Structure 1
Amino acid sequence: MLMGGRFDITIVAKDSLSAEQSIDEVISEISRIEYLISDWKPNTQISEVNRNAGIQPVKVDKEVFELTKRAIHFSELTNGGFDISFAAMDRIWKFDGSMTEMPSAEAIKKSVEKVGYKNIILDSINSTIFLKLKGMKIGFGALGEGYATNKCKEMMLAKGIKAGIVNGTGDMSTWGKQPNGKPWKIGITNPFHPDDLLGAIPLTQGAVTTSGSYEKFVIFNGKRYSHIINPSTGYPVTGLCSVTVVGPNAETANGLSTSLMILGQKKGLLLLDKFPDYSCLMITDEGKVVKSKNFRIKKIKTKL
């Protein structure tokens, strides 16, 4: 358990001892990143940024600064659909079975008052982050795991480990081949029957990330509301229940899968056009399977 979720680490090496040493190094690297960017561990740089919201800028490592900068770029591309300041959102939606009615429009509007990427001020000369509004918070729940798996893959390749998978709760980086010489096969879960797979993606070098609402949602008046909240409106996303993105970099794929869930099918596919190295598979609330035109896996059902 790392970064608040489960990580599975697979390493192909010449013997079990060096494989175990490499796995330990991957765990150490994920922990290092967690202690930089976690917004719920009190001693991290991001927690320090959040504590000083509305007070003063906070100096951060270049790594944290650059990750924040890339996150804000996603916010600009999605017009606030993707927003790391979602961490300040009031948790008025409950997905534990305790909700009996929708929150009021007024409560929903109030819940996102402190959310807004335009109030994150970056100073590249001093490497500082300043949140303009008191009570603002940033968090990397939608990028952090993808970033971590990507960093671990790069570290292992630099060390000479020729194959492996780092899987952070479904956000995964792969490289090399299985010991039998075949590509890794990454299964795509059927959101309506999580024990079933829709198909498998063969990968030797790349990333797969999935964002989904099929495990946590509520239904009011026959409409399904997912646990993924649009940070610019405060309302849960509707329309899609799962988005899988395939591409070279897990951090980018992670940002895209989250963004596509929020933007929906039409706007999501338009955004993906700006990333020609990435492809996606979306599943609608009605069970229709939608593939981007460059998605190369053909053996997948079109209706669930």
Structure 2
Amino acid sequence: MLAVKTYHHDLRIFRRALRLMGNVFEISVVANDAAWADNCIDNAVDEINRIEKMLSTLSDDSQVTEINRNAGIRPVKVTGELFRLIERALDISVLTQGTFDITYNADKAADLQKIELNSVKFTNYKKVVLNAEKTTVFLQQKGMRIGFSAISKGYAADRAKYILQMMGVSAGVVNAGGDLLTWGLQPNDEQWTIATADPKQVDQPYSDIRISNMAVATSGNFEKNAVLSHQDMPAVIDAKKGFPVSVLKSVSIVSPTAELSDAMATPIMALGVNAGLYLINKLQQLACVIIDDHNRVYTSKEISYLS
């Protein structure tokens, strides 16, 4: 059922919340026709379900499973879409010097408490070999696996936005488990904004940040569960040390795409304040807000342009 918020000019925000990819997604579209908005959201949901199936490591017939099954054996031909997603993930690994890594060790993934330093050899993005001409992916080390938990919901949100825009939705929001992707303006012609704050001080926001046509993803210790499945490991393991890291309270990344924001949030958590801000400040179209365990707030230089 659609929730509706009415504004002038007959434009309204039509919302639908549902559970997808293990998260609560809320899709909002600005429109003046309920049936049309409902149909648009249906198509966005179908696309999110398609992405979940494509990136599944549990389905026997997914290409990701086929890649993992043939680790150390042979290259696997994949679709152009999956190839480009893996290629972008490896680019982020290079950018973060391996702090972000979609590879992991299947044998060690079930129990974080049993991870040993020598398991790091299985977590090495440099051992993922791509052949652009043949669109093949090869994991060089037997026992290696790839998983997309760190970027899957961000990529799904980007694809949902694409579908909605192709259907003529000029403004809206995709909330993917707390990560936000927006485009266009609200029905009152104002930009979409968020208030950044320590979750324990929600009534004291740091600032309002304009996020129209941008994406925001947050990584934080307050969001992490004590027990994580194997698909979560690439998002929380420091590839250089081989054990979980806990440095900051939260990191919020603002960028043009949900995939990029999703991919960069956890690496900045692992890098810490100084290295994290240094990296973000070197990059164009990225900004961040960092809160440390003493509730001190740090922002990148681009935040002033968004506030």
TM (norm. structure 1) is 0.84
Match of 1:21 in 2: 39
| Residue 168, structure 1, aligned to residue 176, structure 2 | yes
Cα offset, 1:193, TM superposition? 4.9
Give 3-state SS (helix, strand or coil) of 2:165's partner: helix
| Cα distance per residue 1:224-276 (max 9 Å; x no partner) | xxx93213312222321211011212211211212211211111122213322
1:53 aligns with 2:71: yes
Taking structure 1 as reference, are residues 40 and 296 closer, same or farther at Cα in structure 2, changes over 3 Å only?
farther
The alignment status of 1:233 with 2:241, answered yes or no, reads: yes
Kindly tell me: are residues 199 and 41 of structure 1, through their superposed partners in 2, closer, same or farther at Cα, counting changes over 3 Å?
A: farther
> Is the CA contact (8 Å cut-off) linking 1:229 and 1:236 kept in structure 2?
yes
Contact map agreement 2:48 2:156 (CA 8 A) in 1? yes
1:93 to 2:112 alignment: yes
Match of 2:93 among 75, 85, 88: 75
CA distance in 2, matches of 1:35, 1:262: 29
Which one-letter code corresponds to 1:74 in the other structure?
Answer: I
**Contact 1:53 1:133 survives alignment (8 Å):** yes
1:140 pairs with 2:148: yes
Matches within 5 A, 1:98-247: 107-193=115-201, 198-216=206-224, 228-247=236-255
Instruction: Report what 2:55 is aligned to.
Output: 37
Please give the per-residue CA displacement for 1:44-80, whole angstroms capped at 9, x wherever unaligned. 2111111111121111100100010010011111111
Q: What SS does structure 2 have at the residue aligned with 1:182?
A: coil
SS class of match (1:214): helix
Instruction: Quickly say closer, same or farther: Cα 1:183–1:141, change in 2 above 3 A.
Output: same
Q: Which moved more, 1:37-46 or 1:278-287?
A: 37-46
1:6-42 CA distances to partner (integer Å, 9 max, x unpaired)?
A: 2111111121111111111110111111111122333
Q: How many residues align?
A: 280
Partner Cα distance (2:96, 2:285) in 1: 18
SS of equivalent residue, structure 2 residue 214: strand
Provide, for residues 154-183 of structure 1, a one-character-per-residue CA deviation record: whole Å limited to 9, x for no partner: 222222111111111122210112222222
* 1:189-235, Cα deviation, whole Å (9 max, x unpaired): 524456875544232211111111123377xxxxxxxx932133122
Judged with a 3 Å threshold, the aligned counterparts in structure 2 of structure 1 residues 212 and 86 are, in CA distance, closer, same or farther, namely: farther
Asked whether the equivalents of residues 281 and 301 of structure 2 are also in contact (C-alpha less than 8 Å), the reply is no
Give the TM-score normalised by the residue count of structure 2. Answer: 0.83
Q: 2:302 corresponds to which letter in structure 1? A: N
CA distance 1:186–1:137, change in 2 (3 Å):
same
**Backbone CA RMSD of aligned residues:** 2.3
The CA distance in 1 between the partners of 2:247 and 2:152, in whole Å, is 25
Distance in 1 (CA, whole Å) between partners of 2:111 and 2:262 is 25
Partners of 1:274 and 1:42 lie apart in 2 by 41
CA deviation string 1:68-100 (max 9, x = no partner): 001001111111111000364534436xxxxxx
Structure 2: which 5+ residue stretches go unaligned?
1-18, 227-234
Moved more, 59-68 or 28-37: 28-37
- For the structure 1 residues 194 and 121, does the alpha-carbon distance in structure 2 shift closer, same or farther, using more than 3 Å as the test? farther
Larger relative helix fraction? 2
The sequence identity of aligned pairs, in percent, is 40
Structure 1 SS opposite 2:112: coil
> Hey, what's the Cα distance between the residues in 1 that align with 2:96 and 2:271?
8
| Aligned match of 1:98 | none
- Letter of the structure 2 residue corresponding to residue 255 of structure 1: A
Change (3 A) 1:87 1:159: farther
Equivalent position of 2:231 in the other structure: none
Residues 87/162 of structure 1: CA separation in 2 closer, same or farther (3 Å cut) = farther
Give the gaps of 5 or more residues in structure 1.
Answer: 95-102, 219-226, 300-304
Deviation at 1:120, TM superposition (A): 0.6
Separation in 2, partners of 1:297, 1:54: 48
Q: Which amino acid aligns with 2:130?
A: L
Give the aligned residue type for 1:31.
N
| Secondary structure of 2:223's aligned partner | coil
